[in-house]
Structure 1
Amino acid sequence: MKYSRLLLAGLSILFLSGCGTTVHESLKVQQGSKISIGSGRTVVILPFADYSEADNLERAYRRQLFVTENITDQFVNYGFHVPVQDDVFTYLADQKIIKAQSYTRAKTDTLEQELKGEWSALMKSELQRYIDLANKAQQQDMGDEASVTRGLTQQEIVKIGRHFSSDYIVRGRIIQYKERQDPSWNPAKKGLLTFVSGVTSKIAFGHAESEVYDELNTTVAGGADAAFISGVTDGDLNHAIAWGAAGAFLGNMAHHSGKIPQAVVQLRIWVQDAYTGNVVWTNRVNVQVSPESVLADYQYDALFEKATEKAISTLIDNFAQVVYNVPPPPPVIRAKR
């Protein structure tokens, strides 16, 4: 009775202490965290050309915004002055260098919500087809000009630099910004059961021609693994058959598990002298980010945030190293667990 009361009191304390909220904050601009090479210098960041095949204008805009904000943070960390981005957009639109394009969401909210439901793969593919058709029709209504990019002459670069009293003009390309599945077979990422049945399936059958055959292969591989282990351990045929059936069931479940999302971001950046229009530096980076383990955050927004920040910080650090001879950042050393 005494132990029951202690357990009840402990649980009560645990629940009461759990009331409230959890706050995560991340201040992006860390003043003084890097060498102040940009003191007294101004950088104008132009909108990036997007070649990543964005499926609609809203997502393309969000992608552009996130890339631009991260570039701004990195230059500010190095001490550069950056004009307000909305002022830059307004100036470019007034000079007819860019064309302001409003967007309205395609009326696919209901379909997108249904896509998250417990529908069959065939039904989900049909829902996705209608969503794609609606988005395609929306883009066609906006005209072909929405997807056109244009270059800038040296005179235009100098004019922009003079208007904002800047030293550098930053331009770039979003080459790739996509989600995919991480091909890693690390069991810490994929899960132990998925790893075992998946490896057996790939070794025995190779790559399947369709999702249906891939599922069948994994089911057979799970059954074969379990039957083999049972046969080796006790040699009883009935046990091997029973364990084989259980293994096939678990193998089928494993086929629908173990997915490792991966965010892929590939960018190129040019930095031009605002007084002459000459390119003083350019480089390209490709970053792939996926969860470290099955217990990590699997949401794509977190993965893309990490990938974008890493890609841009790597590029701007390289700019500082090449143009201003800033030493590279020290390697990150992880503590051994």
Structure 2
Amino acid sequence: MNRLKSLVIGILAISLAGCGQTVVETLNVTQGPQVNGPGAGKSIVILPFADYSQGDLQSAQRRNMVITESMTDKFISNGFVLPVQEDVFDYLVDEKIIEGTSYQQSNTASLEYELQADWSEAMKMEIRRYKNQIETDVSQSQTKSPGTHRLTPTKVAKIGRHFDADYIVRGRILEFKTRDEATWAPWKKGILPFVNGGTNRILNGFANSDEYDERNEALTGALIGSIIGYNAGSMPFSDKDSLFELSGSSSNAVLWGGAGYGIGKVTHTSGKVDQAAVQLRVWIQEASTGNVVWSNRVRVLVSPESILADNQYDTLFNLAIEKGVTTLVDHFVTYGM
């Protein structure tokens, strides 16, 4: 009785101790501006990036914002002075360098609701196609996204004078997407997808379609299961037992082969390793003349280190953007100034 009482008290104590909140705080510029940094005493203006990656207008705004914020943090940490980004955007709109555009998503809420309903996969594919067509038509009817504009040296100098800037930053978003990482590391894919998928790739190579690939993986699983079952001794059938008029090793091979077939079909949709791919091109121009003083391009691929790591898209893309921007800015302050 005393043990039960102690157990109940312990559970209550743990429950009460776990009633708080977990707080995660991130301060990007922890040391503040460097007084003696490479950009000390210099001002820089970041213009909206031209977005040539895939996506709608709303996602283009988010991509531009995250990249600009990351670049702002990195320039500040190197001692540069930057104007407020909203002031830059408003000035570009007032000067008719770019056109203000509504970033509200097209009204496809009803179609999104239907996608959650119990329709067949063929019907859902048709709804998605129609939804994508509506969003594409809306995007094409609106003005192009910020950043896709041509600037003459005179306009660059005018922007520089208005913000009293030394440099103007312009750039392109060339790639911003997820892809499957080409890896066979078992700590990333999982044990079963590694064994079955790897064996299937060795035996059958690449299939023409996903459907054929699923069939091949199922057959590979059946083959592996049959081999294991045939050599499993008396698990689960001994020489005295029979299955489908088969006995001993043959019975085990049939049973294990059937189990392997099912596992092979399941592992076809497992073991996916998402990878964030971000590619940026950046130009930095001298504000007084409009001359390009530095330019470079970076491509960053980020994927989870293991099956236990955080694989959410925002984490992967934030790390990719942070790494790409850091590499570009560090290269500029080292070789471009």
- In the superposition, the TM-score normalised over structure 1's length comes to 0.89
Distance 1:160 1:204 in 2: 61
Q: Is the 8 A contact 2:153 2:290 kept in 1?
A: yes
Q: RMSD between aligned alpha carbons?
A: 2.1
Evaluate the alpha carbon distance shift between residue 85 and residue 272 of structure 1 in structure 2; reply closer, same or farther with a 3 A threshold: same
Distance 1:28 1:150 in 2: 30
Q: Is the 8 A contact 2:304 2:311 kept in 1?
A: yes
Evaluate the alpha carbon distance shift between residue 141 and residue 204 of structure 1 in structure 2; reply closer, same or farther with a 3 A threshold: same
2:240 is aligned to: none
Which structure: larger Rg? 2
Residues 87-236 of structure 1: pairs in structure 2 closer than 5 A: 87-115=87-115, 121-142=121-142, 145=144, 149-234=148-233, 236=249
Evaluate the alpha carbon distance shift between residue 6 and residue 120 of structure 1 in structure 2; reply closer, same or farther with a 3 A threshold: farther
Distance 1:110 1:42 in 2: 48
Distance 1:147 1:122 in 2: 37
1:334 is aligned to: none
Tell me whether 1:237 sits opposite 2:236 in the alignment: no
Post-superposition Cα deviations, 1:106-125, rounded to whole Å, max 9, x if no partner, equal 12234335546776543442
Gaps of 5+ in 2: 234-247
2:333 is aligned to: 320
Give, in angstroms, the shift of residue 67 of structure 1: 0.8
Residues 252-263 of structure 1: pairs in structure 2 closer than 5 A: 252-263=265-276
SS of the residue aligned with 1:83? coil
Give 2:231's aligned amino acid: V
Evaluate the alpha carbon distance shift between residue 187 and residue 180 of structure 1 in structure 2; reply closer, same or farther with a 3 A threshold: same
Distance 1:19 1:298 in 2: 27
1:43 is aligned to: 44
SS of the residue aligned with 2:160? helix
Distance 2:164 2:185 in 1: 52
Gaps of 5+ in 1: 325-337
Give, in angstroms, the shift of residue 138 of structure 1: 0.9
Distance 1:223 1:119 in 2: 32
Give, in angstroms, the shift of residue 10 of structure 1: 2.9
Distance 2:128 2:271 in 1: 23
Distance 1:149 1:126 in 2: 32
Post-superposition Cα deviations, 1:141-165, rounded to whole Å, max 9, x if no partner, equal 326x559933211111111111111
SS of the residue aligned with 2:231? helix
Evaluate the alpha carbon distance shift between residue 7 and residue 120 of structure 1 in structure 2; reply closer, same or farther with a 3 A threshold: farther
Evaluate the alpha carbon distance shift between residue 295 and residue 115 of structure 1 in structure 2; reply closer, same or farther with a 3 A threshold: farther
Distance 2:250 2:336 in 1: 72
Distance 1:263 1:60 in 2: 16
Worse overlay, 124-133 or 177-186: 124-133
Work out the number of aligned pairs and report it.
Answer: 322
Give, in angstroms, the shift of residue 16 of structure 1: 2.0
Give 1:50's aligned amino acid: D
Tell me whether 1:7 sits opposite 2:17 in the alignment: no
Post-superposition Cα deviations, 1:12-49, rounded to whole Å, max 9, x if no partner, equal 22222221211111111223586612111100001111
Distance 2:2 2:83 in 1: 68
Partner of residue 283 from structure 1, selected from 276, 296, 303: 296
SS of the residue aligned with 2:316? helix
Distance 2:213 2:117 in 1: 23
Evaluate the alpha carbon distance shift between residue 33 and residue 242 of structure 1 in structure 2; reply closer, same or farther with a 3 A threshold: farther
Evaluate the alpha carbon distance shift between residue 13 and residue 202 of structure 1 in structure 2; reply closer, same or farther with a 3 A threshold: same
SS of the residue aligned with 1:253? helix
Evaluate the alpha carbon distance shift between residue 91 and residue 140 of structure 1 in structure 2; reply closer, same or farther with a 3 A threshold: same
Residues 265-280 of structure 1: pairs in structure 2 closer than 5 A: 265-280=278-293
2:237 is aligned to: none
Evaluate the alpha carbon distance shift between residue 147 and residue 80 of structure 1 in structure 2; reply closer, same or farther with a 3 A threshold: closer
1:57 is aligned to: 57
SS of the residue aligned with 1:258? coil
1:332 is aligned to: none
Evaluate the alpha carbon distance shift between residue 110 and residue 28 of structure 1 in structure 2; reply closer, same or farther with a 3 A threshold: farther
Distance 1:220 1:130 in 2: 36
Evaluate the alpha carbon distance shift between residue 190 and residue 115 of structure 1 in structure 2; reply closer, same or farther with a 3 A threshold: farther
SS of the residue aligned with 1:98? coil
2:260 is aligned to: 247
Distance 1:194 1:33 in 2: 48
Percent identity over paired residues:
47
Give 1:37's aligned amino acid: P
